[in-house]
Amino acid sequence: MNPPSLTTDLREQDRLAAVRRYEILDTPPDGAFERICALAARFFDVPWSSVAIVGADAVRLKASVGLDVIEIAREPGLRASAILQDEPYVVEDALRDPRTAGHPLVLGDPFVRFYAAAPIVTSDGHRLGTVDVLGPHPRAVSERDLDTLRDLAAVVMDELELRLAALRELRGEQQLRRRGLEQQRHAERLATTLQRSLSPPRLPVVPGMDVAVLYEPFAPEDVGGDFYDHFPLGPDRSSFFLGDVCGKGADAAAVTSLARYTMRTAALLHEGPWATLADLNAALLMEEGMQTCTAVYGEIVQADGAASARLSVAGHPAPLVVRAGGTVEPTTAHGTMLGAFADPSFHTCAVALAPGDAIVAYSDGILDCDVGGSRVDEEQVARWLAGPPDAGAQALVDRLGRALRGADMRDDVAVMALRFAP
């Protein structure tokens, strides 16, 4: 074997510096990543999967399914080789593939015969590790399979970026505290940082969709449980959700992170709102104690100048449809709260959208408000949204924002408007 070139060695040193930057090697196994592994193993129908970070001399498994180790030697052929390329790394028959035929995990327990991995890649191009699946029998994979692995690796990278941003902000806050800043300012800024990591400050651009969000915290110094997201699932297909975790503070923040992370991951693996909510329900039931939340989840498909949406609701106010002409219609989706029952029931409804039509989802914090001495109800929300025709998404959330100005709030308020605007 030829010795590594200076260029190769420098690249590896830069990669290891990136691994250290994310401070992931020496942290304990991660429950969120364990769900990624469970979803990957289920999708590929294999007994083993892992989220692995490759260090200088060893591979650390941050989460796994079916594997009883947390660290293995950095042997070439599997994970250590998978980080050498940007594209997914596939071994269809490990005993016949010269890259893996001599690997200890192939020749010995657990006798791996199939391996596929997608690299976890930073924004500056460093490959930290892999999301991988392993099986005891040779098999082929499709491009759709590889797309799923890429998506799961991207979700892991998104989570690492969020954690790094929160860690940096937290350390900045600690420095300010050491300089004598008063405790209240510290708490408020830390809560703001954590809230920002739980709900994305800027939603991705999805062609054909005009999206706007309103978030009004009830108590800025305390982390709320409202969460939301909107992201593409493929060409002309996107997904959105908005939910509310029961409770406040650190415990609610942990459940909020779990809910957002699980729903985004499940959306990549399922076609249909019911299955995505069912995955989140199962994840909440696995947590210690009773962790509950409400949510609305929808998928929007665009075709031939029109769009259709499928909506499911779990213990949450049903979304409203604001037509281009300014009228407002209710939707019929309903279902049970998440995390409370092992056999939840979700009723899914379909909504046809013409150009200019919008779906508006909102948290039940609006229904906890008093305006002019009266409690807000669903009919009042619909009246606030009705108005002049051809209102954009921002105009719709602004209507609710203006109506709630000066309201007696008892909870956080989140609103998301998604307008079909091809």
The residue type at 349: C
Share of the chain above pLDDT 90, in %: 62
> According to the model, what pLDDT value does residue 187 have?
43
| Pairwise CA distance, residues 337 & 340, whole Å | 6
> What would the mean pLDDT of 21-36 be, rounded to a whole number?
82
> What would the mean pLDDT of 192-203 be, rounded to a whole number?
55
For 10, phi and psi rounded to 5 degrees?
-65, -40
Share of the chain above pLDDT 70, in %: 88
> According to the model, what pLDDT value does residue 191 have?
44
E-assigned strand segments in 98-245: 114-121, 127-135, 209-216, 226-234, 237-245
The alpha carbon of residue 147 and the mean position of all alpha carbons in its chain are separated, in whole angstroms, by 17
Q: What is the 3-state secondary structure (H, E, C) of 212-248?
A: EEEEECCCCCCCCCEEEEEEEEECCEEEEEEEEECCC
Whether pLDDT at 134 is above 70: yes
Residue 223 — pLDDT band, cuts 50, 70, 90?
low
Q: Tell me: the pLDDT tens digits for 56-98?
A: 889 999 999 999 888 889 989 999 999 999 999 999 999 999 9
- Own/partner contacts of 400-407, CB < 8 Å, gap of 24 or more, are 400/214, 400/362, 400/366, 401/214, 401/216, 403/371, 404/216, 404/366, 404/369, 404/371, 406/371, 407/369, 407/370, 407/371, 407/376
Q: Measuring CA to CA, which residue among 284, 282, 309 is closest to residue 297? A: 309
- The tokens describing 296, both together, are 């609305």
Q: Tell me: the pLDDT tens digits for 268-323?
A: 887 789 999 999 999 999 887 788 999 999 999 999 999 999 999 999 999 999 99
Of 46-50, 137-141, 262-266, the one with minimum mean pLDDT is 262-266
Residue 328 — pLDDT band, cuts 50, 70, 90?
very high
> According to the model, what pLDDT value does residue 193 have?
45
Mind listing the domains of the chain with CATH numbers?
6-156 (3.30.450.40), 204-420 (3.60.40.10)
Q: Measuring CA to CA, which residue among 202, 121, 195 is closest to residue 156? A: 121
Whether pLDDT at 254 is above 80: no
Does residue 163 or residue 383 have the better pLDDT? 383
> According to the model, what pLDDT value does residue 293 have?
92
For 307, phi and psi rounded to 5 degrees?
-145, 155
> According to the model, what pLDDT value does residue 129 have?
95
- The tokens describing 193, both together, are 């940082």
Q: Tell me: the pLDDT tens digits for 1-22?
A: 444 444 567 788 999 999 998 8
pTM of the model: 0.61
The alpha carbon of residue 173 and the mean position of all alpha carbons in its chain are separated, in whole angstroms, by 26
> According to the model, what pLDDT value does residue 220 have?
58
> According to the model, what pLDDT value does residue 123 have?
87
Q: Tell me: the pLDDT tens digits for 87-131?
A: 999 999 999 999 999 999 999 999 999 999 999 999 889 999 999
| Pairwise CA distance, residues 312 & 334, whole Å | 7
Contacts of 342 (CB under 8 A, 6+ apart): 285
Q: Exposed, middle or buried, 180 (CB in 10 Å: 0-12/13-18/19+)? A: exposed
Which single residue is written with the structure tokens 């921002």?
Answer: 394
Residue 174 — pLDDT band, cuts 50, 70, 90?
low
SS3 content of the chain, % helix, strand, coil (to 5): 35, 30, 35
Q: Tell me: the pLDDT tens digits for 358-382?
A: 999 999 999 999 998 889 999 999 9
Q: Tell me: the pLDDT tens digits for 32-49?
A: 789 999 999 999 999 999
Return left, alpha or beta for 253; rule: phi > 0 is left, psi -120 to 50 is alpha, else beta: alpha
Round the average pLDDT of the chain to a whole number and report it.
87
> According to the model, what pLDDT value does residue 3 have?
45
Whether pLDDT at 212 is above 50: yes
Query: Rg of the Cα trace of the chain?
Result: 23
119: preceding bond cis by omega (within 30 degrees): no
Return left, alpha or beta for 109; rule: phi > 0 is left, psi -120 to 50 is alpha, else beta: beta
> What would the mean pLDDT of 209-229 be, rounded to a whole number?
79
